[in-house]
Structure formats: structure tokens, C-alpha cells
Structure 1
Amino acid sequence: MDDQLSRVGPRLRAARLGQGLTLEGLAERAGLSASTLSRLEAGKRQASLELLLPLTRQLGMSLDELVHPSTPDPRVRRPSFRRAGVVVEPLAPEGSSVHVFKMTHLPTREVPRPGVHPGFEWLYVLSGELRLQLGERDMTLGAGEAAEFDTLTPHAVTASGSKPAVILSIFSRDGARFHTHEIGEEPDPDAEPLRSHA
């Protein structure tokens, strides 16, 4: 408990700054002197219920939130799915500004038509060999190789050979929609139209 109380000052300061309140402004609203609040935030004044209750009321938070803040589970637990011969495993939280996926390209005889969409793509081959068709170029990437490219260039990726190719991919929002949305998923009304390159 003493360890938790020693952290109250920095948490109190962070909560105050997060609401755009000055030291003087919060102190006045809570009926304290600015010097008392300053010492409390700096850990030079022992935290007590008498001091903390009016402060938490003004900050709109509970005493428990200040003394025992909850730490959200950082693990990403999203289901994997299969789309067009690719097993897609989301590695970033839903709604994240960064779209990261582990993608396993299963061996196939069918080579997809290159497609284009706004944005960019970065990929890293974890295992196997990956065939990357990019514009006029047709290349094979092995484990440990990476590529980054403008996705307005016609492109397609498949496993090369008889073994799966496992890659780590980072997409822009449009790239994630184009490459990983599940079959049957409702289209995003805000997304720009995606198209195949003939």
C-alpha cells in the first residue's frame, strides 16, 4: 500500500494535466493551497483521504482509480481467419492506427491477378519463400528478407514452391482492407474503391 501511495503524486499530476488544469486552478477548486497540491504531486507531502477526496471529486475520478489504477491487458487476442488461400492472424488491436498481420500463404497453383489500392505495404518473410509480383518485376524473397512498396503499383504475393510462406505484414488502412477483410464482410462505406489490375 505504501508503494501505491508513493505513486499517487505523479498520477495526480498526470490526471490534472490530462484535463488541462493548472496547479492553481485545481487547488482552488478543491479548497487547497497551490503549495500543498504542488508538494503532494512532488511526493513531498503524505497523501491522505482529507487531501485526496476533494481532488478526485474535482477530477471526476474515484479514489481507487488514483491509488490502484487498472492496467489493461496488453495482449492482442483476435481470431485468425482464412481468405483466398491465406491464413490471416491479426497482431494489432482492432481499431489500431497500425495494421499488423502474420500471414501464411499456402502453396497454390493459381497465381492471383495483381491488384492496386491506395497506401503502402511493408512485409518481412519469417519462413518459406514468397513470390512478389510488383509491376514488371517478379521476384522471390526468402526468410529474413523484407520489402516495402507503394501499393498503387500492381502487386501480388504468393508462396513460392511447395511449402507455405509465412510473413509479417504492415499495411496502411486501405491495404489492410484490400488484403485481409474476411469474405462476406460488409464493405467499409468510408473506404476508397479497391480494384483489380487487368
Structure 2
Amino acid sequence: MTHTSNIDSATELRRLSRKLKSLRESRDWTLDELAERTGLSKPYLSRLEAGERQPSIAALLSIAQTYSVTVAALFQEEQQAPQVVVRQGQRPLKTGNGLFHTSLSERGGEFNLRPIRVIVPVDRAGGDLYQHDGEEWLYVLSGHLRLILGNEQHLLSEGDAAHFDARTPHRLVAEGETDAELLLVATVAPRPLLGSYL
């Protein structure tokens, strides 16, 4: 009985910590600002958001009043509708394997297709070939791209496309004096795709 109670308490504490952080970030408040509004210390609030401390009733009342929600709402999981549209500039460029890339979908865990915008720098270092499960389709938006695919090499220009089995060792190389930008759609789990692709 005690064991089950401890599990339930830990679950509630994690749920509360996630909700507290979400509420603060949705308002663009820093911990310092929240501390000033609630009258609670910054270290105390930080530990609550990290799930490292159980709050007092007084603290919960103060936090709920600050966010204009009920105490019960602090323990409720947020049900967010899946995002269908990704706006320009909404997803920042990341770097990996000498490339710049950004996901063009917020639905990564739901669907098999992974659309990605990729910029291949003209001075990309290294020469490693990558391979992973699934398939890839790419479309060159600008620049010139050399697609190394196994023992073959293909030169692609703006408007050209390629579709291949991603288990074949491959690499993207920008040709000429400018970066190559492309739209890439892959069918593969996100981590291998962003960690060992192209």
C-alpha cells in the first residue's frame, strides 16, 4: 500500500513540475520574475520545476493565484492539438555532420515521413558516407549538389530530384562556389536520421 502511494506521489510530482515549467515558459517569465510575483524564492521554485521538492499548500495557492488557475489545474496534463502547419522561421537551423538542417514537421512521432530542409555548405569538411534504414527523396532548391551513392556519383542542379534506398552508403557535397539547399524527405526514426544521415 505504501509502495503504491509513493509511486503515485512521484507521478504527481513529475506532472506538477512539467506543468509549472510550462506555465512559466508560456508567459516568457524568468524564475526571478516568478519569484517576485509569488513571493517564493527562486531556488525553491527551481526545485519545484525540477520535481525535486514537494510544495506546501501555501505555495500551491500562491502559484495558482499568480497564474490565475485553480490548484487542481496545476496537476492536469495539457492536451495540445497536433500542430499541422510549420511557419517560416519557426524551427531554427541546427548543425550536424557538417550540415545545417531543420525539421519541417511537428508530427515526427506520428508519421513515417520526415521532411527536412538541408543546407550543404560549400566548404563541408570530411568525406564519410552515411547509411541508415529507410529511404530518402530529395529535391534541390538552389545551388549544385553532388550525390555520392555507393560507387556512383550524380550531379544535381536546381529543380533536380533523387530517390534512393538509404541503406546505400551516401553523402551530399555542394559543388561550385555556393551552398546547396534542398528539401529532403526520409522514412526513418528521427534520432538515426539527424544523427547519422547524409
- TM-score of the superposition, structure 1-length normalised? 0.51
What is the aligned residue count?
Answer: 114
Distance apart, 1:179 and its partner CA: 4.2
Runs of 4 or more, structure 1, over 4 Å off, are 70-73
Unaligned stretches of 5+ in structure 2? Answer: 1-79
Q: Which is higher, the Rg of structure 1 or of structure 2?
A: 1
Q: Quick one: distance in 2 between partners of 1:82 and 1:195? A: 12
165, 171, 175: which one pairs with 1:160? 175
Q: Summarize the Cα distance change of 1:117–1:146 in structure 2 as closer, same or farther, 3 Å threshold.
A: same
Q: Quick one: distance in 2 between partners of 1:75 and 1:195? A: 25
142, 146, 165: which one pairs with 2:161? 146
Partner of 2:84: 74
Partner of 2:64: none
- Answering whether residue 96 of structure 2 is matched by residue 83 of structure 1, we say yes
Q: Quick one: distance in 1 between partners of 2:188 and 2:82? A: 25
Distance apart, 1:95 and its partner CA: 2.3
Identity over aligned residues, as a percent? 32
Q: Which amino acid aligns with 1:129?
A: H
Partner of 2:44: none
113, 118, 121: which one pairs with 1:103? 118
Q: Quick one: distance in 2 between partners of 1:128 and 1:172? A: 25
Q: Secondary structure at the match of 1:101?
A: strand
Distance apart, 1:161 and its partner CA: 2.0
Q: Summarize the Cα distance change of 1:72–1:178 in structure 2 as closer, same or farther, 3 Å threshold.
A: closer
Superposed, which structure 2 residues align to 1:40-189 within 5 Å? 74-76=84-86, 77-93=90-106, 94-97=108-111, 98-108=113-123, 110-174=125-189, 176-181=190-195
C-alpha RMSD of the superposition: 2.7
Partner of 2:65: none
Q: Quick one: distance in 2 between partners of 1:101 and 1:143? A: 17
Distance apart, 1:72 and its partner CA: 6.8
Q: Which amino acid aligns with 1:90?
A: S
Q: Which amino acid aligns with 2:140?
A: V
Partner of 2:18: none
- Counterpart contact for 2:138–2:184, Cα < 8 Å: yes
- Counterpart contact for 2:146–2:154, Cα < 8 Å: yes
Distance apart, 1:112 and its partner CA: 2.3
- TM-score of the superposition, structure 2-length normalised? 0.51
